Amino acid sequence: MEYQFLSKIKSPADVKKLDEKDLPVLAEEIRDQMIRTVSESGGHLSSNLGVVELTIALHRVFRSPEDKIVWDVGHQCYAHKMLTGRFDQFNTLRAPGGISGFTRRYESEHDIFSGGHSSVALSAAYGIAEANKLKKNKNYTIAVVGDGAFTGGMVYEALNNAGHSGTGTKLIVILNDNEMSISRNVGALAKYFATIRANPRYFRLKARTEDVLNHIPLIGRRLAKILFRLKTSLKNRIYKSTMFEDMGFRYIGPINGHSIPNLTDALRGAVEANYPVLLHINTVKGKGYELAEQNPDRFHGISAFNIETGEKKLSAKGFSDAFGSFLCAAAEKDKRICAVTAAMALGTGLEEFGKTFPQRFFDVGIAEQHAVTFAAGLARGGMLPVVAVYSTFLQRADDQIIHDCAMQQLKIVFAVDRAGFVGDDGESHHGLFDPGYLNSIPDISVFAPATFRELEHCFYEALYKTEGSTAVRYPRGVEPELPEEYVFTGEDWQCTGAPSDIAIVAYGRCYGEALKARRILRQEGLNVMVVKLTRIKPVPKEAVKCAMQAKKIWFFEEAQRYGGIGETFADKLFQYGYRGEYTNTGVQGQFAAQNTVQGLMALYGLDAAGMVKAIKENEKQ
């Protein structure tokens, strides 16, 4: 698309050149481009639609990258990318080799801090602001936090720390309040004071008054303190919460987050404060696209969709749906079962559970550490908690899994969604680390089903047949089509094919690829047996002994190779005296970039073609 204003913006300097009357048109153009692109590529739509005016105002007032804008999570950065020279690339959003759906330092000097996980921006921004202060750098650091990120405990740790930094710390925190109200101000007087406090002249006058009072001999400082207490008392009557000012921030707001003039005035007022400032803005999630405004959660992270109807272009049942259906059926029979999620009810398939069993459904907000220890408390109280969480987010609660669950041998089931490659969201979202860190924790079991039926079986085993804490990890997307050789056995492992000189060992999504590779290799005269692991921790001894019949064993793992299940399998092999060849293939020593799942499987040699190629080349040698 060729736009009147957006097409001409090559840097934030071009935003400053526009006439103020042209800015609403620019905002419309940005939203149009977002909707068109995300409808094809998928991505985070409603959260980005809500911060268009804020992004324009930020680039009008501040000078990026000299002034550092840190976006929490990074999934509200689409407008920021368009206004910082990436409009021409925006149609490559989330595509292999294209621009990321999150902030990425390697992508632009304007992406100050790489994002992907929630509630980290304030900590990073405060660190940058303190570094600037130490270097006598006068530039500002702005943390844009919201869209649920204020439910994460790390934000409050950072607020508590940063609020004590005092004068000269050029830190501005923007609370983008688009659903909940942290500080609800009502009435005409509150609105009036919010307007006054957003004016730069308010802060200039305030600073001069404090300076004059402090220089009056004998009574100046005492008078300043009395006036401060009076002002605070009056403010407490008007504002229902002064938490932020109690923590040391100058509070401005709430401000209409869709008024560029109001936002611009508020940001300029924050610049004058010479203290850490918290600017509270109200926005509408999904602003400008009626379907997203009406259903902000559904359009938060969405795959390709029809703009007119909002319907997804692909809507086949996935592993998350299968998990949700199973858990509802299980909870109907067992009143102890509770579901816990960290603000991901829709993504993890728990929406129906929440409606059917509201008393046993707990959405704790973006607080994975709390979610895990809260579940431990439920278990200690006699309930049977199931924690549904993406693999990439479970990493944040590693300590809690160790200390509060496994060490106490509490009965908790982790439904580890998005295990393995997730594709378009890139390196911050792949679920490649959980096999390694879960593998290192004593007294915890891990299952890796390859089909919907296996998923149900594994959860039943986890709930009723396995001691202590258990994780069931499964991939994003639909159930794979497995060759006819596959037969559901309900066992922890199984073998396809007669004993032969070559064995492929795999689990999860790699298992289906291994069966395909076996068929291709057999057509070319190579007999191969495939050993499937359904329980990957502990590795079944019988599976190891079965694989030992082969002279060459190939282990394929959709996870980080170092510390993964393949290394454990090798350790078991050699403990049992294996003297053949062993090759372990996985993601080795790098963060996997954004790509399609199929592209990543091929890139790392984990698809059928890669397995065939590796085995045939080895045979030739």
CATH number for position 358? 3.40.50.970
Does 29 fall in a domain? yes
Residue 598 has pLDDT above 80, yes or no: yes
- List, for residues 187-214, the tens digit of each pLDDT value: 443 453 345 445 555 555 555 665 666 6
Residue 419: phi and psi, rounded to 5, are -75, 140
- Residue 292 class from Cβ within 10 Å (0-12 exposed, 13-18 middle, 19+ buried)? buried
pLDDT digits (tens, 9 = 90+) for 522-546: 999 999 999 999 999 999 999 999 9
The model's confidence at residue 237, banded by pLDDT at 50, 70 and 90, is low
In a domain, 313, yes or no: no
Query: What confidence score (pLDDT) does residue 248 get?
Result: 87
Domain annotation covers residue 271: yes
Same domain, 264 and 177: yes
Over the stretch 74-108, which tens digit does the pLDDT of each residue have? 899 999 999 999 999 999 999 999 999 999 999 99
Q: 273 with 413, same domain?
A: no
Domain extent at residue 202: 6-290
Do residue 263 and residue 347 come from a single domain?
no
What's the mean pLDDT in 588-616?
A: 95
Residues 55, 199, single domain; the answer is yes
Domain co-membership, 377 together with 462 = yes
What integer is the mean pLDDT of 345-366?
94
pLDDT of amino acid 187: 46
Cα angle 551-554-555, degrees, rounded to a multiple of 5? 135
Q: Is the same domain home to 444 and 520?
A: no
In a domain, 312, yes or no: no
* Element holding 208 (H helix, E strand): helix 200-214
Beginning with the edge strand found earlier in the chain, give each strand of the sheet holding 337-341 in spatial order. 361-363, 337-341, 384-390, 413-417, 469-473, 444-447, 535-537
Q: Which residues of 217-235 are buried (b: 16+ CB within 10 A; e: fewer)?
A: eeeeeeebeeeeeeeeeee
- pLDDT at position 186 is 36
**Number of domains present in the structure of the chain:** 3
* Rounded (10°) CA dihedral 240, 245, 251, 253: -10
Catalytic positions, please? Answer: 285, 368, 396
The stretch 5-10 carries a mean pLDDT of: 96
Distance, in Å, from the CA atom of 58 to the CA atom of 174, rounded to the nearest integer, reads 10
Whether 163 is covered by a domain: the verdict is yes
Q: Are residues 49 and 148 in the same domain?
A: yes
State whether 462 and 505 are in the same domain.
no
Q: Taking 90 as the threshold, does the pLDDT of residue 327 lie above it?
A: yes
Rounded to an integer, the average pLDDT of 134-140 is 94
Look at residue 180 in the predicted model and tell me its pLDDT.
Answer: 39
Do 348 and 449 share a domain, yes or no?
Answer: yes
Q: Choose one of 237, 269, 290: the last residue of a domain.
A: 290
In a domain, 478, yes or no: no
Residues 450 and 562 in one domain: no
Average pLDDT value over all residues in the chain = 90
pLDDT in tens, 572-588: 999 999 999 999 999 99
Q: What are phi and psi of 480, to 5 degrees?
A: -75, 155
Residues 17 and 87 in one domain: yes
The domain that contains 581 carries what CATH number? 3.40.50.920
Q: What is the mean pLDDT of residues 146-173?
A: 86
Whether residue 328 sits in one domain with residue 283: no
Residue 314 falls within a domain, yes or no?
no
What pLDDT score does 177 carry?
A: 85
Last residue of a domain, one of 438, 473, 508: 473
Whole-angstrom distance, CA of residue 261 vs CA of residue 273: 19
Inter-axis angle of helices 452-464 and 319-333, to 10 degrees?
A: 40
168 pLDDT tier (thresholds 50, 70, 90): confident
Specify the pLDDT at position 301. Answer: 85
The tens digit of pLDDT for each residue in 418-467 reads: 999 998 899 999 999 999 999 999 999 999 999 999 999 999 999 999 99
Q: pLDDT-derived band of residue 233, with 50, 70 and 90 as boundaries?
A: low
- Beta-bridge partners for 38: none
Confidence of residue 324 (pLDDT cuts 50, 70, 90): very high
Tell whether 488 is covered by a domain.
Answer: no
Q: Model confidence at 16, in pLDDT bands (50, 70, 90)?
A: very high
Tokens of 486: 């596959």
Which of these three, 274, 290, 306, is where a domain ends?
290
